[in-house]
Every structure is written in C-alpha cells, then in structure tokens.
Amino acid sequence: MTVTVLEPVRATFRAVAATVVPETHALDTDGWATLESAVERALAARPERVRAQLVTFLRLIEYLPIARVVGRFSRLDASRRTLVLRRLEKSPILLIRRGFWGLRTLVMLGYYTQPEVQAAIGYRAHPDGWATRRRLAPPESRGTPLITLEVPRLPDDSTTG
C-alpha cells in the first residue's frame, strides 16, 4: 500500500476540512478519497520539508486545545473547532498564520477543484463559451439586455471579435 502524507494525521485533517468547508462533513468514503487524493497529489510535488511541516502543524492543531482543557481537536464540536482555527488564522505569529493559510488552501484545493463541486456551486465555464448560453448571450442578441453600458460608445464598437 502507498504511504500517504495524511495517513498519520487523517482524523485531524478531516476535522479541519469539515470546519473550513462545512460541506465536507457530509462526504462519504469515496468523497473523502477524492478530496484527499487531490491533496496528496499536490503534496507529492512539494519538497519533503513542506510535507513534514504539514504533518507537524496538524499534530499541533490536534493537541493544542488540550492545553486549554477542552480536549483533542478532532473530538471537539464544530463551534469549538472554529474558535481554535480562528485563533490560528489571526495569530500574532506569522509562521502560524501562514501554516493555517496553507492548510486551508489545501482543503479548498481538494474540494473546489472537483468538477461535481464546481457544478454544484453554479460554475458553468465551458470551452465553447457564449455558444453554450444561447438563452443568455450575447446580450444584445436577446432583445432587452439585463445590464447595459451607461455610455453611448466604446473605443471601437465596429470591430468584430
């Protein structure tokens, strides 16, 4: 079996992910596998040092709340987890802030690059562009445009694209 970066800190990673992107809370096994494999791919392209830092940072997140007698991060409820992560996000220490920024970016990469997720939030960009939106566009060709420019002319209205 391939050794993965997230394996030793998976519970913490998932708890962070579910706090950063609440929709991940509902992911099934396949859903988590898709998200985590995108994260693993991104990590594979990074130096070993960066992968080790990520694991250390996740361990820190897991055990940090114990110092405040609230328990391990992965066992906290959603609102307590949010509080912990907000503290990291706004920490006076740059290293902590950027560590959290990097972690949240990885979670977002794993989630928002999935085509199904992109479709679910309404993203519709397509190589065929305007041709896929006959109903909407080009604006002037559908009678009354929703939004028009508030000036009579553009530098060169006559040119074709």
> Under a CB-based contact definition with an 8 Å cutoff, are residues 72 and 65 in contact?
yes
Out of 55, 140, 143, 144, point to the residue binding another protein (CB under 8 A): 140
Minimal distance, residue 32 CB to another protein, in Å: 17
Question: CB-side exposure of 98: number of CA atoms within 13 Å?
Answer: 5
**Joined tokens for residue 136:** 């909407």
Among 67, 122, 143, 144, which residue interacts with another protein (rule: CB under 8 A)? Answer: 122
Residue selected from 68, 75, 126, 134 as contacting another protein according to rule CB under 8 A: 126
CB of 142 to another protein, least distance (A): 11
Site string for another protein, 66-105 (x = CB under 8 A): ----------------x--x---xx---x--xx--xx-xx
What type of residue is 56?
A: T
Q: What is the 3-state secondary structure (H, E, C) of 39-70?
A: HHHHHHCCCHHHHHHHHHHHHHHHHHHHHCCC
- Residue 75 CA to residue 9 CA, distance in Å, equals 13
The correct pick among 29, 129, 143, 144 for binding another protein (CB under 8 A) is 129
- Residue ranges in 17-56 that form contacts with another protein under rule CB under 8 A: 19-23, 38, 41-42, 45-46
Q: Which tokens sit at 115?
A: 């085509």
Helix (H, G, I), strand (E, B) or coil at 103: helix
Q: Dig out the tokens for 46 from the structure.
A: 């990074």
> Which residues contact another protein (rule: CB under 8 A)?
19-23, 38, 41-42, 45-46, 82, 85, 89-90, 94, 97-98, 101-102, 104-105, 108-109, 111-115, 117-118, 121-133, 136-141, 146-151, 154-161
